[in-house]
Amino acid sequence: MAVKINRAMLHGGWLHSHEEDEPGQMVFKSSTQQLPPSRGRDGYEFHPDGRVTRIGSGASDRTTAAGGHWSADSEGRITIRMPGRPEEVLEVIAQDKDRLVVKT
């Protein structure tokens, strides 16, 4: 069942909370939430103008960031386009102001 994405609620930073993952789903928490210490967390920052920053873990656990663009459709999918990388599609299962759950 498609989840209607609330674009305004999506704006901001989201970090992977791997501690909360379950089979078939990946959980992201708003970057305003406290997360336990971890050796690097992947995530996204969605901007209202369609830009996205992909946050990742690089060598020596340093944070990396790469820019691209995002869009959302009426079927509950977020499409992320990064230069030089394949298109990434996140299928949203659940969304609220502090938690974003996507299908794996």
Number of Cβ atoms within 10 Å of the Cβ of 51 = 12
Q: Where are the domains of the chain?
A: 7-103
38-76, pLDDT tens digit by residue? Answer: 877 899 999 999 999 999 876 666 778 899 999 999 999
This prediction has a pTM of 0.90
CATH number of 7-103: 2.40.128.280
Nearest alpha carbon to residue 42 among 97, 9, 96, 88? 88
Percentage of the chain exceeding pLDDT 90: 79
Q: What is the dihedral of CA 99, 45, 50, 101, to 10 degrees?
A: -20
- Show contacts of 50-54: CB within 8 Å, 24+ apart: 52/80, 54/80, 54/82
Look at phi and psi of residue 92 and say left if phi exceeds 0, alpha if psi is from -120 to 50, else beta. beta
